[in-house]
Every structure is written in structure tokens, then in C-alpha cells.
Amino acid sequence: MIIGVLKELNVKEQRVAMIPAHAEALIKKGFTVLLATGAGQASGYIDEQYRQRGVTIVANNQEVLAKANLCCAVRSGANLEAKDPMLKSFTKNQLVIGLLEPYKNHPFFDVMNQLTISSFSLELVPRTTRAQSMDVLSSMANLAGYKSVILASMYAKKMFPMMMTAAGTIVSAKVLILGVGVAGLQAIATAKRLGAVVSAYDVRKEVKEQVESLGAKFVELAIESSSGEGGYAKAMDAAYYQRQQALLLDLIKDMDVVITTANIPGKKAPILVTKAMVEAMAPGSVIVDLAAERGGNCELTVLGQISDHHGVTLVGVENIPSQLPFNASALYSKNMVNFIDNLVKKTDQGWKIQWDDDIVKGTLVTHAGNIVHPQVKQWLNLGGPAS
């Protein structure tokens, strides 16, 4: 079986789907690996490193798609526009794996259906013990949580740690993390390492112990828990969010840094930080919105921009893991290789796809000319089950 690694098309995407060491591991198992020229360049992995590991370098993505049975990408598929010539290069009955952004419809899905391509969306990897080694979202969230604190420290007017000097004492910065998932926990740990006084809030009260184990204070509001499936928060009604915002106002106004991480699969990110909250914060404060790509947790966030409102800096940076492309690619690649190991097995009759495997079924979006994932069908209004 031939595995192809695509070069990412979006100039803001610096990751590569597979690094040289992991490609070599697949080659040792009997796969052939093709790489589009320069696919790893932006993340610090040059073509010669791949060659030394046994990878075949080809001219471009079109050649990869013409020859590969299975194609690996980060976000190439979902970022294709309808007029992009690469859409015409996919081959009938291929397998495609990547971050397909299944929450919205785009030309990629139409092409997959026309060519009866089986596509697997790594955003949909189940939150189970067996699937942990393939959990791309957790891998990337770890990096995003770390980088969010570094960005906050860059734009804040205050330093994070307490410092006692002959000229006086500098008090620690106060940092609030909203949302205690993987990104939030890493943000807590990073802010603590930098010496900040850290508080955290989450609608799931069961995460209190995790927050306190990292040395932060867990903030409890007089509001019901909204725990959902798979460790995520579930969507609530408008009245719930209004109560939540009213209670958060007094908390946020005293913070030097607020980092928001709240996402709900398949839905717009909830607004946690209102205009009134931003205006209540002191000039020089910073808000880093990790949900900017899903609409933002702060109602003033501008995707892809660093903006200012009444002296408060709003960081709406997108695709934060791509700002750490060397490490992000290594983690993503490991998740990818583990997924392939689970997806494809070598038998006496050749390579066999494990269609009945629960992880395979849980990530399969298009197959045999149709969108087959029940939740994706519901997101795209194609008659899937109600959420």
C-alpha cells in the first residue's frame, strides 16, 4: 500500500502530517511512503531527512494524489476551494485522513462523494482509552494551552512572577483560565510555572480536583453544571449563559490576563466574555481567545487579529498549534501513524481495512459516495440524529 503525505496549501498552516521518523516506521511495516516536495519545510523537516528514512520525494501534491492509495493531510482537504485544481487530482476509491472540519460543508466533501473516497476526520476520534494515542485534538490543545500563556505574557503590560527588588516588590499577575479541558489545564500549568496567581472556571464542577492539583484556585459560581458527553461541555439555553455572564463580570474585572478555551463540538463557541466585561478590565489587561476560529468566547474577538478595546488587548490568533510547527507536527504525525496502524492490517491476502473497528467507524465521514457519519449528517442538516 502506498501512503502519500500532502503539502499543506494554506500559508498559515505550517504543520506537516508525517515526520521522517514516523514515515520510516511505516516503511519498515511494508508501506511505501511518498512526500510532496517541501511538505515538511515550514515545520523544520527538510526533504533530505525524509530521503534518508526511505521516503520517496515526488514533485507536488498532484503526483502524490495520482499514486497514493491513502493520503495524509493536516488541513489541506478542508481548505480547498471549489475552483482549486487539486480537487481534480484525487483518485477514485482513495483513503484520505486529516482534520476535515466536519462541522461545515465545503467542496471537499462533494469531491469525496463523487469519487467514492473514504475520508476520515481526526476531529472525530472517540474519547476512549483505546483511542488516546490517536487523539489529535488533545495533542494540539496541549500546545495551544501552552502557547496561549506565552502570547498573553508578550502582550500584557505586567510581568507574571512576583519579584522583590531594592526598588520595591512587584506583585504576581492574576490569570484566569475559562474552560478546563486539555488546553485549559496546560494553560494553568504554564501560567503557574511563570509565577502568576492562577484561577480557573469551568461549567463542569468535576474538574475542580484537577485544577487544584496544579496549584490554581477553582472558581465556583452559583450555577448548574453543564457536563456533556466525551468530557466536553454541552450547549445550554440563552438564559443559562446570561446568568453565567453576570456572575463572571465581578471575577473578570480584577484579572490581568483572561484565557478562554471553551468549545462545543459542532456548534459556535459560547460567549463567555462580553463587551461589558472587557470594559470593566484595567487598561493593559489581555484576553487570549482560543475559541476564535469557532466564533470566539469573547464577543469582541476578531479572528486572526490582535485588537484593542479600551486599552485591553484582544488576541484572536488562529491555528495556534501551527505556531509551534516542529512539535505540533511530531505529535500530529504520531497520532496519524497510530491511526493508520489501527485502520490498515496486513494479511496473507494483502492490506485490509478494519471497517468494523469502533475508532474507524467513529471517524469515517464519506464512504461509497455518501456522508455516512451520523453526527456529521446532523451538523450539515442531512437528516442525521438530533443532538
Whether 354 is a known active-site residue: answer no
Catalytic residue check, 43: no
The label of the residue with cell 506537516 reads 16
Which residue of the set 41, 62, 89, 132 is catalytic?
Answer: 132
Catalytic residue among 14, 94, 135, 285: 135
From the candidates 232, 243, 341, 357, give the one annotated as an active-site residue.
232
- Catalytic residue, chosen from 41, 133, 138, 387, is 138
Q: What is the DSSP string of 285-348?
A: -EEEETTGGGT-SBTT--TT-EEEETTEEEE--S-GGGGSHHHHHHHHHHHHHHHHHHHEEEET
Q: Which residues contact 245 (CB under 8 A, 6 or more apart)?
A: 271, 272, 274, 277
Residue 127 is a catalytic residue: yes
User: Any catalytic annotation for residue 232?
Assistant: yes
Give every CB contact of residue 275 below 8 A, 6+ residues apart in sequence: 299, 300, 309
Backbone phi, psi, residue 147, to 5°: -65, -30
For the question of residue 213 being annotated catalytic, the response is no
Question: Using CB atoms within 10 A of its CB, is residue 234 exposed (0-12), middle (13-18) or buried (19+)?
Answer: middle
Three-class secondary structure of residue 374 per DSSP: helix
Q: Is 383 left (phi over 0), alpha (psi -120 to 50) or beta?
A: left
Q: Which residues are catalytic?
A: 127, 132, 135, 138, 232
